[in-house]
Structure 1
Amino acid sequence: MTTPRDASPSRRIRANGDGTVYQRKDGRWEAAGYVLAPGNTRKRIRVYGTTRKDALAKLTEKIATSNRGVPVPSAQGSVSAYLTYWLEAVAVHHLRENTHTRYTTCVHQHLIPGLGKKKLAKLTAKDVRTWLNQLRITCQCCARGIDTLRDQSRCCAAGTCCSKRLSPLTLAYIHSVLKSALEHAVREEEITRNVARNVRTGTPRPRRFEPLTAVEARWLLTATRGHRLHALFELALHTGLRKGELLGLHWEDLDLDAGTAAIRRTLQRTNAGGLTALPTKTRASERRIALPARCLLSLRLHHAAQQRERDTASTEWQHSGYVFTTPQGSAIDPTNLTRTFTLLLRKAGLRRIRFHDLRHSTATLLLEQGVELVVIKELLGHAHIGVTATVYAHVRLRLQRKAIDSLGTALDVPANNTSLSPCGDEPCSTTTLVR
C-alpha cells in the first residue's frame, strides 16, 4: 500500500519558524524562510540544493546567522554600481577634494575593470586575492592601452613588453580604497562582512628619502640668500612646515613680537576650485609653533620687501593677505614653487630632492641634535607620535648606534692598565666569583 503524501519522511511538518522545504518540478529542492533584513525588518528568502538535505542545510545556516542579529545582505547590484554610488554619494562628503580625485582615478582604472562585473553580495576574499595577484604581475601599458596612445609604440603594440608593473605601495593603496568602500557597505548593511580585510597584501617598504645633511642645508640657504622667497625656504628648513602650510600663511597668523606662528590652513590647487585655501590636513596639524630668531629677522625683511613690491605694482597689486606672494600680491601656485626650488638646488650644486624632503630634513636634524620625539611630533603636526617614530626610524637607529659605541668606549679597559681587579679596591671574595 502506498504511503500517503503527508506521511512521507521528506514531507514531514516542520516547526513554526523553521521554514518550508519542497521539491520543484525541475527536480531541485527549494527551502524558504524568514530572516532578519536591514532596518530591523523580516524578509523571506529562498535557497536551492540538489537534495533536500542540501537545501535544508543552507536555510538552517541563514536562519542561524539571522538569529545572531546579522541581517541578510540586501545588495543585488554589481561591485561597479556600488563603487560608483559610494564615490558620488558618500566619499565626496567625507574626503578632501584631491583625495576624492585620487580615489576616483583608482576606482575607474583598477577596481571597476578588475572586479566591477561581480555581484557585491557574492564577492569573496578569494576573488579579491586572485585579482590583486593578477594586478601585481600585469603590465600597465598592456592592461590600460597606454602603448596604443603613444606616437611610437615601445611596449605590447611593438611586440616587446616593458613590464611596467605597479609598485607595492600602489597595490597597497588600491587595496585600501577597496577596503574603505566595502567597510561602508557593511555599515549600511548591504553586505555582512568586509572580504577585503581578509586579504593580506604584505607590508610595503616605506618610500626611502635622503634628507639634507647640515652642510647641504647650509649650502641651500646660502643659494637662496638674495632670492625674494629666501624667508620661505629658511622657514621651511627651521620649522618643517608643509608646502601648502607655508603658502597658506597670512600675516595675521604671525606674531613677530611673540615669535610664534599659527598654522590654520593649507593652500592647494583643486580641480573644481583652482587655487584654494583648505583646512589643515588633520586636526593635529592646526597648531601654534615657535619661530627661531633667524626666521623672525627674515620675515621682517620679507615684509619690508613686500611693501616695496606693493608700491611698485600700484593698482595692479592684489590684496590676498598671504605672507608669500607673487610680485603682484597673488597667492603662489605650489607647482611654481616646486620649479623655483628645483632651480635653487641646481644653483647650490645639490642633488635633486622633493620640496617635502625639507620637512624630513628638519626632523632628521632635530633628532640628531637630541631633541625629544614628542617635541618634533608637535612641531611637524603629526596626528600620532607613532607616525613620527616610524617615518624617522632610520635616524633613531643611527642614534642608537652612536649610544652603543659610546657605551663601548666607556667599558673599554685602558691598554696600559692590566692590573685592574674585577672587584675594584676590595679583595675578591670566593662567593663573588662565578664560573
Structure 2
Amino acid sequence: MTAPKRRKARANGEGTIYQRKDGRWEAAGYVLAADSTSKRVRVYGSTRREAADKLTEKIADSNRGLPVATSDSTVGDYLTYWLGSVAVHRLRENTHTRYATCVRLHLIPGLGTKKIARLTAKDVRTFLNRLRISCQCCTQGLDAERKACCAIGECCRKLLAPSTVTYVHSVLKSALEHAVREDELPRNVARSVKAVAPRPRRFQPLTAAEARQFLAAARTDKLQALYELALRTGLRKGELLGLCWEDIDLTSGTASIRSSLQCTRTSGLSRLPTKTRASERRIALPMGCVQSLTIHRERQEKERAVAGTDWQDKDLVFTTPTGSPLDPANLTRRFRGLLDRARMRRIRFHDLRHSTATLLLEQGVDLVVIKELLGHAHIGVTAGVYAHVRLRLQRQAIETLNDALPRPDDDPRVPPEAAAVR
C-alpha cells in the first residue's frame, strides 16, 4: 500500500517558516524589491505567529505593487523605497521634500552603491567627514555648468554648513532605524557615529527698550495686532497666520493654537495641524493684544464690506484685503519695512519669538511657564536655546548675593581684629 503524500504546511508563494537554533522563528519568502526584481526576504519573531504575520504583511504589500526592502538592497534602493513607501505617510509635505533633497544630493551620491546589510559605522563616518570638506560646486557638478570653481582651476571651497551635515546624518539615522524595525538590519550603524554638534545659531533678540520702540512703531501699521501677538506671546509665524477668529476669545482673553499656515508645492497656502502635540496649546492674551485684536476685527469688517462678493471667508484673523491668507514671504518683507521705518536694526521675524522668551526670563518668569507658552515639546529645548540668558541671570543672582554678603574685611562695621579672629 502506497503511503499518502505529505500535505504542504503552506501554499506556494506563502514562504517558509522554521525555528532557529537560538529559539527565534524565521520566515522567508519572495517579494517585489526596491529595484523592481523579485528577491527573498527574511523576517523574525519570538513566536511562529509573529514571524508568519510579518511575512504575510510583506507579501501583501508586494502583491499590491509596493516594493519591499530586502537585506541585499543597496543603500540607494532602500532610501528610495523608504522615502516613497514609508516617510511619505509619516512626514509633512515640506519635511518630506527636504528629506528627498537630502537623499538626492548627498546620501545617494555618497553611499548609494553600498549594500545596506554591509554598511558599517566606519562607512558612515568616512562619508560624513568627506561631506564636511567637499566643495559642493565640484561635488554636484555645478562648476561645469557655471564654468567656474574647479572647472577653471580655482575651487571656491563652498562647504556645507555644519548644521546641514548634521541634518544629513539625522535623515540617514531615521531611514536605517526603520530598516531595524523591519528586521532588515540587526542595528542602526548610523547611531554608532557620534555627530559633531553644530554651533548653535546666534540670534539677536530685542532689548526691552527696543521692544518698546518696535511696539510704538507698529501702532500705525495695519498688522499691529499681529506684531503685538508675535512679541507679547512668542507665537510662530505660521501659527499667527493660521489663527482663526473661532480660536480667539476676546472676552476671556485667551487663544487656542490649533493650526499653522504652511506653503506647500501641491496645496499652496493651507492650514495644517500644529507640528507636535505640545504646539497645540491654549494661551492667555495680554490686555494690549486684546485691545489691538478688537481694533483689528473692526477694520477687517470694513474690508469685508468693501470687498463684497469678492471676500474669501476663511475666518482667518490676518488676511489680505479680500480675505485670503497672507503669504509668509510677504509678511517677512512687510516686517523688514517696519524695522526700516522705525530705524531699528534688522532682525529675523523669528527673533521676535526669541525676544519674548528672553524678556520673560529676564523678568524672572519660570522656565516651565515659558516652555508652555512657546509650545516646546520638552523643557530641555527651552533650556538649551536660552542657556546664555540663564547663565547671565545666574551671574546677576550671584553678584546680588555677593553684595548682600560682603567679606568681613570689606565691612566698615567690623573691627579689623574681629575680622582676623573670624
Q: What whole-Å deviation, never above 9, does each CA across 1:176-233 have from its counterpart, x for those lacking one?
A: 1000000000110111111111111322221111111111112222222211101100
Does residue 416 of the first structure (1) align with residue 416 of the second (2)?
no
Question: SS where residue 276 of structure 1 aligns?
Answer: strand
Map 1:131-210 → 2, pairs under 5 A: 131-150=127-146, 153-210=147-204
Give aligned-pair identity as a percent: 63
Equivalent AA in structure 2 for residue 40 of structure 1 = W
Question: SS where residue 206 of structure 2 aligns?
Answer: coil
Work out which of the residue numbers 335, 359, 364 in structure 2 matches 1:370.
Answer: 364
Contact 1:247 1:324 in 2 (8 A): yes
Contact 2:236 2:353 in 1 (8 A): yes
Q: Distance in 2 between matches of 1:235 and 1:191?
A: 48
Name the structure 2 match of 1:271: 265
Q: CA deviation at 1:157?
A: 2.1
Q: What whole-Å deviation, never above 9, does each CA across 1:99-133 have from its counterpart, x for those lacking one?
A: 11110000000000000001111111111111111
Question: SS where residue 220 of structure 1 aligns?
Answer: helix
Does residue 100 of the first structure (1) align with residue 85 of the second (2)?
no
Question: SS where residue 244 of structure 1 aligns?
Answer: helix
Equivalent AA in structure 2 for residue 98 of structure 1 = N
Name the structure 2 match of 1:41: 26
Q: Distance in 2 between matches of 1:301 and 1:100?
A: 40
Q: CA deviation at 1:330?
A: 0.7
Q: CA deviation at 1:416?
A: 3.4
Moved over 6 A (4+): none
Map 1:207-246 → 2, pairs under 5 A: 207-246=201-240
Name the structure 2 match of 1:84: 80
Map 1:3-22 → 2, pairs under 5 A: none
Q: CA deviation at 1:43?
A: 6.5
The answer to which of 196-205 and 114-123 deviates more is: 196-205
Q: Distance in 1 between matches of 2:45 and 2:317?
A: 61
Q: Distance in 1 between matches of 2:418 and 2:280?
A: 57
Question: SS where residue 289 of structure 1 aligns?
Answer: strand
Name the structure 2 match of 1:122: 118
Name the structure 1 match of 2:308: 314
CA pair 378-421 structure 1, distance change in 2 beyond 3 A: farther
The answer to which of 140-149 and 276-285 deviates more is: 140-149
Root mean square deviation of aligned Cα = 2.6
Unaligned runs of 5+ residues in structure 1 are 1-33, 45-64
Work out which of the residue numbers 378, 381, 401 in structure 2 matches 1:387.
Answer: 381
Q: Distance in 2 between matches of 1:401 and 1:170?
A: 34
Q: Distance in 1 between matches of 2:116 and 2:354?
A: 42
CA pair 329-421 structure 1, distance change in 2 beyond 3 A: farther
Normalising by structure 1, what TM-score?
0.80
Contact 1:36 1:43 in 2 (8 A): no
Q: Distance in 1 between matches of 2:159 and 2:387?
A: 28
Contact 1:36 1:66 in 2 (8 A): no
Question: SS where residue 255 of structure 2 aligns?
Answer: strand
Q: CA deviation at 1:316?
A: 1.5
Equivalent AA in structure 2 for residue 296 of structure 1 = V
Contact 2:25 2:45 in 1 (8 A): no
Work out which of the residue numbers 298, 307, 316 in structure 1 matches 2:292.
Answer: 298
Contact 2:26 2:45 in 1 (8 A): no
Q: CA deviation at 1:418?
A: 4.2
Q: Distance in 1 between matches of 2:253 and 2:295?
A: 15
CA pair 66-320 structure 1, distance change in 2 beyond 3 A: closer
Contact 1:74 1:191 in 2 (8 A): no
Normalising by structure 2, what TM-score?
0.82
The answer to which of 322-331 and 221-230 deviates more is: 221-230
Q: Distance in 1 between matches of 2:367 and 2:267?
A: 37
Equivalent AA in structure 2 for residue 225 of structure 1 = R
Contact 1:259 1:292 in 2 (8 A): yes
Equivalent AA in structure 2 for residue 247 of structure 1 = L
Contact 1:74 1:189 in 2 (8 A): no
Q: How many residues align?
A: 368
Q: CA deviation at 1:154?
A: 4.0
Contact 2:137 2:149 in 1 (8 A): yes
Q: Distance in 2 between matches of 1:401 and 1:385?
A: 22
Contact 1:35 1:66 in 2 (8 A): no
Contact 1:36 1:42 in 2 (8 A): no
Of the two, which has the highest radius of gyration?
1
The answer to which of 280-289 and 210-219 deviates more is: 210-219
Question: SS where residue 275 of structure 1 aligns?
Answer: strand
Q: CA deviation at 1:155?
A: 1.8
Question: SS where residue 412 of structure 2 aligns?
Answer: coil
Question: SS where residue 343 of structure 1 aligns?
Answer: helix
